[in-house]
Structure 1
């Protein structure tokens, strides 16, 4: 089963890391992906740019409404994601514990809901 691990942290705290600390964290993330890939658990993932580069889109009355920034003002911001293959939630949580930025914020682990395709759609 697929699990999405959403990585959140407070951008203002991360901005205070030295360049060496930031580089070390990035190298840890690369090593984490290599380990998860080698064990067959890593499907996909990517870090995100900071929230000041984000736009939010909503459709209201059939018209797009675009605003600057993320949808919600929160203490922590979405920083990236890991898509993992795991047996069950316990296995996904065990794997998510290896994600280095968990030390700085939160990793939300959610099962991916598979949509059933209508056979006529092929």
Structure 2
């Protein structure tokens, strides 16, 4: 079963972390990638740009409206994800807890129900 593990960034919280804590997050991702690659559970991972570099597109009555910024106006934003292929939901949750961001913010675990 494949699961999407989404990471969310809160810039205000991030600004309160020490350099050692920030470096721990960066290094922790390297360790996590090695772990899930080594176990064969890694499918893919991506880091995403900040909301200021985002465009939100809506189409209404055939007209396209493009605005700068993320869909949801919030301090926290989706900053990246992992897709893992694991035997159980419990394993997906276990892996999510190993992602260093989980120490500071939530990591969402969502089952992938369709792939095209």
TM range (shorter): 0.7 to 0.9
Task: Tell me what 2:3 maps to.
Answer: 3
Number of paired residues? 116
Tell me how far 1:112 sits from its aligned partner.
0.7
Tell me how far 1:115 sits from its aligned partner.
4.9
Task: Tell me what 2:29 maps to.
Answer: 29
Aligned counterparts of 1:115 and 1:87: Cα–Cα separation in 2? 17
Task: Tell me what 2:15 maps to.
Answer: 15
Tell me how far 1:55 sits from its aligned partner.
1.4
The runs of 5 or more residues in structure 1 that have no matched partner are 117-122
Aligned counterparts of 1:100 and 1:79: Cα–Cα separation in 2? 13
SS at match of 1:113: coil
Task: Tell me what 2:42 maps to.
Answer: 42
Tell me how far 1:104 sits from its aligned partner.
1.3
TM-score normalised per structure 1: 0.84
Larger Rg: 1
Contact residue 9 and residue 106 of structure 1 kept, 8 A: no
Task: Tell me what 1:66 maps to.
Answer: 66
The runs of 5 or more residues in structure 2 that have no matched partner are none
How has the CA–CA distance of structure 1 residues 52 and 92 changed in structure 2, closer, same or farther, with 3 Å as cutoff?
same
Two-structure CA RMSD over aligned residues (Å): 1.7
Task: Tell me what 1:87 maps to.
Answer: 87
Tell me how far 1:18 sits from its aligned partner.
4.1
Tell me how far 1:79 sits from its aligned partner.
1.3
Q: Which runs of 4+ in 1 moved over 6 A?
A: none
Contact residue 9 and residue 104 of structure 1 kept, 8 A: no
